[in-house]
Amino acid sequence: MSTTTADLPTYKLYRHIEDINRYCPGGYHPIEVNDTLNQRYIIVDKLGKGGYSTIWLARDQKLNKYVAVKVGTADQVSKEREILLKLAGNQTNDFSGHLITQVLDHFTLHGPNGTHPCIVTAPARCSVAESIKTSRYNSFRLDVARALSAQLIMATAYVHGAGFVHGDIHLRNVLLQLPGSEIDQLSIQQVYEKYYEPEPYPVARTDGQPVTSTSVPKNVYRPNWLGKPSDEVLLPEAKLWLADFGTAFNPSQETRLMSYTHLQNRPPEAKFDPTKPLTFSSDIWSLGLMVWEVMGDGPFMSSFLFNWDEVIADQVDALGPLPQEWWEKWEAKLNEFEENGQPKGQREYWSLERRFHMNIQDPRMEEGTEQMDNDESHAFLDMIKGMLRFRPEERLTADQVLRSEWMSKWALPLVEKAWERKLLD
């Protein structure tokens, strides 16, 4: 008699830890601190978790350095490893290729829950999202923000130039690099002393019965923190990787209709043209929103949007009227707007310019830190407007963003300073 999901026991859940019930056939591979993977990688601590993977800090016994090992679920259907290897093979002398997560090794694990794809990369300091979340001001210094934004644009242009759409650009997938010189010379015990020791949480069944399944580990772990709050990141540390290519695709070889980005970051064509394949321009929309967030102290879109109609209304508030055919198709428009497109009644709305001052300029003024001057402000807003045009075919390409005035005059020079190398002709 076969075992169904309903027959499996359920387990006590912990905050900030993966769903323990996903340690089942097809799900996560059970891993404990001090385990050795592939006869080479000693597990030191947990770095992160997602719906389809857990990520671990490990000591590479062969090369005597620290690495990150991403262990996918057994049911994961992803071309991430293949795409990363193709991107690495496309580097030639392009500096931007160094802004993409590099595959150091890859292998498969066979366990009680199935066969799991594993990718080995250099460990990151933390995600940009985590760095912002833990800071006092929810923002980076202006020079750091410029450098990080420019590198994110460069990385996206590199991915597009190789023929791929990332498919899920958000700040949890943008990682601050951790130089090997900061950690590789440390023993495992010294790593624990510098950061934190792993804190095991015992796996327990909700019915109080003993845990007998080999599908689950004895303990689970919260992700450790190797990072820095954004307000403490200095320009020499402003180096990033664009990561997580689990939803990436080649639009010349695959038709992708569904957008996997968070609803707030989803391009409008995903609602109004759901049968039209997504292309590079869908990445540009997400990229524009993320550049805005790196440069400011919060997201471009409101954080309190719970359905498509609220998202579209916020987009119209910021960016102006929808294309006529989309406006006519939008059934809920009269909830927030008059027929002529004006906000209904006395409803307060946030234009692009108001958001710029409230999210980017005013917080820096209140903190007493550097702000954009008028020339930079105009150039930055021109670039953002070009990235956030409603019609996807009218948006700037990644190469056009790369060549924009804001990039060439204000952002790329900061990348050169951060990396101490010449990038501009």
Q: Are 19 and 13 in contact (CB under 8 A)?
A: yes
Residue 70 annotated as lining a ligand binding site: yes
Nearest CA to 238 among 161, 150, 157? 150
What size, in residues, is the chain?
425
Distance CA 295, CA 19 (A): 33
Which amino acid is it at 318?
Answer: A
Is the separation of the CB atoms in 418 and 238 below 8 Å? yes
Q: How many CB atoms lie within 10 A of CB 14?
A: 15
Distance CA 301, CA 312 (A): 10
Question: Binding-site residues, please?
Answer: 70
Question: Binding-site residues for ATP, please?
Answer: 70
